């Protein structure tokens, strides 16, 4: 992707975020755009860095470990893990990522707490909620959220907020609204929700982190 195309796409997404924020009476600076670079190689990512984007999302630890050390030499880069995390990769994840959006079970809370203490590095965490109660999806059930949050707080994980991936092919807004309510009920400030097809809706409902891939990079292979 040439630099001017990357700049145009980035400007377009940022403008849409700003417009949605304005509509909702929110400060656009409060919304972090995470450029989801999974399955895109360094050559596709570099133009976006040159265009000024600094926050990126990857969904697999191994892929990120292979791709990012070099790309990361640009000052100010932040990496967010947005995909499911196995406990045996917790150490690598804590070493590489600045935020982890997929904390969804007590065993992972325990594993992360242990490696964070050991590494003395504490990426901020989002608890992922299976907001549509879909069997094939990651995330804790809505009913299990209070228990998981209590465990995360006891383990001293730096919990910033909640994350969700709503069911496909249906209106996302009610699911975003439910996630926002859960965060409010539990005194959590951050909401990771909204992808290429629905990030503007998510912003109007309170998203603080939107995870946008296709709208910035084009379709994945």
Alpha-carbon gap, residue 155 to 103, rounded angstroms: 13
Rounded CA-CA distance 170/205 in Å is 16
Binding site for ligand PLP (CB under 6 A): 36, 38, 59, 82-83, 165, 195-197, 211-215
Start-end of H helices in the chain: 3-23, 42-50, 61-71, 90-96, 106-119, 145-154, 173-185, 199-205, 214-217
* Rounded least distance, CB 138 to ligand PLP, Å: 9
Minimal distance, residue 91 CB to ligand PLP, in Å: 22
CB of 128 vs ligand PLP, minimal distance in Å: 9
179 is written with which tokens? 């996630």
Residue nearest to ligand PLP (CB): 213
Q: Which CB, 90 or 215, lies closer to ligand PLP? A: 215
Q: At a CB cut-off of 8 Å and minimum separation 6, what does 212 contact?
A: 13, 33, 34, 35, 36, 194, 195, 196, 199
CA 79 – CA 97 distance, rounded (Å): 5
| Closer of 26 and 101 to ligand PLP (Cβ) | 101
Closest contact distance (angstroms) between CB of 163 and ligand PLP is 8
Q: How far is the CB of 34 from ligand PLP (least distance, A)?
A: 8
Name which of 123 and 213 has its Cβ closer to ligand PLP.
213
Q: How far apart are CA 203 and CA 103, in angstroms?
A: 22
CB nearer to ligand PLP: pick between 82 and 112? 82
Q: Return the number of the residue (85 or 183) whose C-beta is nearest ligand PLP.
A: 85
Q: How far apart are CA 147 and CA 194, in angstroms?
A: 25
């Amino acid at each position: 992707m040439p630099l001017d195309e990357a700049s145009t796409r980035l400007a377009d997404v940022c403008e849409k975020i700003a417009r949605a924020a304005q509509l909702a009476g929110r400060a656009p600076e409060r919304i972090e755009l995470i450029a989801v670079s999974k399955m895109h190689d360094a050559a596709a990512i570099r133009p976006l860095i040159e265009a000024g984007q600094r926050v990126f999302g990857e969904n697999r630890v191994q892929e990120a470990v292979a791709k990012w050390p070099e790309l990361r030499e640009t000052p100010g880069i932040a990496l967010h893990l947005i995909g499911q995390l196995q406990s045996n990769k917790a150490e690598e994840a804590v070493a590489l990522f600045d935020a982890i959006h997929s904390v969804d079970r007590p065993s992972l809370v325990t594993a992360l707490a242990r490696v964070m203490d050991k590494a003395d590095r504490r990426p901020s965490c989002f608890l992922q909620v299976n907001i549509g109660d879909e069997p094939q999806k990651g995330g804790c059930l809505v009913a299990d959220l209070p228990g998981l949050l209590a465990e995360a707080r006891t383990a001293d994980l730096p919990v910033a907020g909640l994350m969700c991936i709503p069911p496909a092919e249906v209106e996302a807004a009610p699911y975003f609204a439910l996630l926002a309510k859960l965060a409010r009920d539990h005194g959590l400030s951050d909401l990771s929700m909204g992808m290429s097809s629905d990030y503007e809706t998510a912003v109007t409902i309170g998203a603080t982190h939107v995870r946008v891939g296709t709208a910035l990079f084009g379709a994945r292979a």
